[in-house]
Structure formats: structure tokens, C-alpha cells
Chain A
Amino acid sequence: MQISKICQLLSARIICGEELSTAQIERGYSSDLMSDVLTLDTDNLLLITGMCNLQTIRTSEMADIRFIVFVRNKKVNDDMLALAKENNLCILESPFTLFKASGILYQAGLKPVY
């Protein structure tokens, strides 16, 4: 699923990494628990989360996750943005809940990790 389509489905806007808006994502993983995100071994993944802090960006950097959508209207701060840009991440912000965002993406064909 293309990032631009994900934006459209989740009424999301791209905060950084706009050049990756044509990238195709295969799977999604919804979690506010970074401990669980760090146990994944999946490529080409979209992280859907309401955990909006610097460690979410760090976790993504370590786990080679390049695409994150922050739900529940959470806003990325300047430190997060700088780290995301440094690591060439593509960050989206959506006003929807984690449940709603995940449901919409699943229904539209984004695969689960397990």
C-alpha cells in the first residue's frame, strides 16, 4: 500500500520524509509498547502508534522501521523531527484512534505481522 494512500485513508499529513510518499508498504504493526516493537524482525513495515516521544524514533531507527504514523492527534516535537530527518524516516500524523486507524488499514489490505 502506498504511503500517499495511507495518508488519504487516515486523514493524515506527512510531517517529514515526503519524498517517500510513493513507497509501497506491505505490513502494519500497531503498538504503544516499544519493548514489543523491538522484538519484530519484519522488513517494509509501518508502525502505527500513539506513543509519541523520542524513544519511538530511536526504536524505529534500531529496528529499521522507516514509516511511522502517530495516531490520536499526537504531535511530533522538534527533537523527534530532527532525529527522524537524520535517519530518513517518513512520519505521518493522524487524528484517528489506534483502533480506527488499524481497522481502516487492515480493511484496505495492509497485512499484519502475525
Chain B
Amino acid sequence: MKLQFTIEGGNFSNAGHAASEIKKMLKQLGIEARCIRNIVIAMYEAEVNVVAHAFEGQILVDIETDKITTEIIDKGPGIPDIELAMQEGYSTASKKVREMGFGAGMGLPNIKKNTDEFYIESTVNSGTTLKMINYF
């Protein structure tokens, strides 16, 4: 089953919409609660990252019998140093993002922690693509 969502940069009120929809679907499919939690936390963190840092983004979800693959492709400033961005506590988030309770530099490490496979590619002044796979 393939699904697609769009993310609007800067629009915090919609952040989490895709993760919420996916959570409902996975529940209906009878996936174990802890597995769902890992998947939707990773997806939600990724959505918040796009809202916080990029201009726009797309989420492509593919649910198969044994796994879920999610790609989050954004158009934005990109990440100059991925290794640095993966360190807990490193953040370039704005004051507005921090006021929303995010931007503590926990997002990318937490996405990695909650996924079985995690890949990140980024081009400065173009955008960032995340690929996450979780097995059921």
C-alpha cells in the first residue's frame, strides 16, 4: 500500500498529520503497539524537522506485509555537516521552533533510534532526503 503526504514548511499546526494517519492505519492492520510507536515517533520527528527547517516536503510511505518504508524528501537549506547534525544536542533551530518545545538537537538521533534502517542524504541549498525502514 503506497501513500503520499505533503508538508508545508513553517506550518506547525499540521505537523504530525501524516504520522497520525499512518498510526491509525497500522493499528487497523493489527501491528504491535510498540512497533507502531517507534514508526510514528520517527515519522513525527521527521515531519517536525521539515516544518522547522525546510520550505516544503513530501512523505512517501510504502506499507508491505513485513515492513514499512518511509521517505521524507524536502526542499530547503540542506544539512552541511550530517555527522554533526546526528549528534545529540546539536541544533540550528530558530527561537520559534524552540518555543514550540522542539529544536533541542534530539530529532535525527531519535529517528535513528526508532528505526531499523535509516539513511540520510543532503545537498546544501537544495534539500534533504531521509529513508527509514521498520520491520513489523
Binding site for B on A (CB under 8 A): 32-36, 38-39, 41, 51, 53-56, 58-59, 61-64, 79
B45 near A53: Cβ-Cβ < 8 Å: no
A32: chain B residues within 8 A (beta carbon): 101
| Given A38-B45, A62-B44: A33 and B37 interface contact (C-beta under 8 Å) | no
- What distance in Å separates the Cβ of A35 from its nearest Cβ neighbour in chain B? 4
In the bound complex, how far is the Cα of B14 from the Cα of A79, in angstroms? 11
> Given known contacts A35-B103, A39-B106, A55-B100, what 20 new A-B pairs fall within 8 Å (CB)?
A33-B101, A34-B102, A35-B102, A36-B104, A36-B106, A38-B45, A38-B106, A39-B110, A39-B113, A41-B37, A55-B12, A55-B16, A55-B48, A55-B101, A55-B102, A58-B15, A58-B19, A58-B20, A61-B20, A63-B41
B19: chain A residues within 8 A (beta carbon): 58, 62
B40 at the interface (CB under 8 A from A): yes
A63 near B20: Cβ-Cβ < 8 Å: no
A34 near B37: Cβ-Cβ < 8 Å: no
Give the secondary structure class of B's interface. Answer: helix
In the bound complex, how far is the Cα of B68 from the Cα of A89, in angstroms? 27
- What distance in Å separates the Cβ of A42 from its nearest Cβ neighbour in chain B? 11
B23 at the interface (CB under 8 A from A): yes
The 8 listed contacts between A and B (C-beta, < 8 Å) are A35-B106, A41-B37, A54-B13, A55-B12, A55-B16, A58-B19, A63-B37, A64-B37
B13 near A35: Cβ-Cβ < 8 Å: no
- What distance in Å separates the Cβ of A33 from its nearest Cβ neighbour in chain B? 6
A53 near B37: Cβ-Cβ < 8 Å: no
Kindly identify which residue among B13, B33, B102 contacts A64, using a CB–CB cutoff of 8 Å.
Answer: B33
Closest A-B pairs by Cβ, 8 of them: A34-B101, A58-B16, A35-B104, A35-B106, A51-B101, A62-B44, A62-B40, A62-B41
B99-131 Cβ-contact flags toward A at 8 Å (1 or 0): 011111111001001000000000000000000
A63: chain B residues within 8 A (beta carbon): 37, 41
